[in-house]
Amino acid sequence: MAIHRETGLPFTAEKSRQIYERTLGVLIEGSSSSSRGPANFGKYPIFMDRAAGSRIYDVDGNEYIDWMMAFGALPLGHAHPEVVEAITQAATSGAHFATATPVELEVAEMIQKIVPNAERVRFANTGTEAMMAAIRLARGVTGRPKILKFEGHYHGWHDDLLVSSNVLPAAALGLRSDPVKIPDSSGLNRTALDDTIVVPWNDLPALQHALENHPGQIAAIITEGVMANMGVIPPADGYLQGLQKLARANGIIFILDETVTGFRIAPGGCQEHYQLSPDLVTFGKALGSGLPVAALVGRAAIMDALQWGGVLHYGTHNGSRIGMFAARANLRVLTRDHNASFRHSWKISEKLCSGLRQLLQKKGRAAIVQNVGPMLQIMFTDRPAIRDYRDFCQHVDRAAFQKFVLSLFPFGVYASPSAALHSIVTLAHSDEDVELTLEAAGKALDAAA
List contacts with ligand PLP (CB under 6 A).
71, 126-128, 131, 154-156, 224, 228-229, 257, 259-260, 284
Q: Closest-CB residue for ligand PLP?
A: 127
Report how far apart, in Å, the C-alpha atoms of 414 and of each of 68, 75, 165, 262, 402 are.
Answer: 7, 16, 25, 23, 12
**E strands in 32-163:** 48-52, 55-58, 63-66, 120-124, 146-150
Pairing of strands 294-298, 280-283: antiparallel
Known catalytic residue at 279: no
Is there a contact between 270 and 295 (Cβ–Cβ < 8 Å)?
no
Nearer to ligand PLP, 53 or 298 (CB): 298
Report how far apart, in Å, the C-alpha atoms of 196 and of each of 140, 141, 436 are.
Answer: 16, 17, 45
CA atoms of 70 and 73, how far apart (whole Å): 5
Known catalytic residue at 285: yes
Nearer to ligand PLP, 131 or 297 (CB): 131
Nearer to ligand PLP, 286 or 369 (CB): 286
Nearer to ligand PLP, 71 or 411 (CB): 71
Q: Minimum distance from CB of 4 to ligand PLP (Å)? A: 31
Q: Minimum distance from CB of 150 to ligand PLP (Å)? A: 11
Which is the catalytic residue, given 20, 64, 154, 274? Answer: 154
Known catalytic residue at 154: yes
Nearer to ligand PLP, 203 or 257 (CB): 257
Q: Minimum distance from CB of 266 to ligand PLP (Å)? A: 16
Q: Minimum distance from CB of 131 to ligand PLP (Å)? A: 6
Is there a contact between 212 and 138 (Cβ–Cβ < 8 Å)?
no
Which is the catalytic residue, given 60, 203, 279, 285? Answer: 285
Is there a contact between 179 and 200 (Cβ–Cβ < 8 Å)?
yes
Alpha helices of 151-306 — where are they, by DSSP H?
190-194, 204-213, 239-249, 269-273, 300-303
Q: Minimum distance from CB of 129 to ligand PLP (Å)? A: 7
Amino acid 102 reads P
Residues carrying an active site annotation: 154, 257, 285
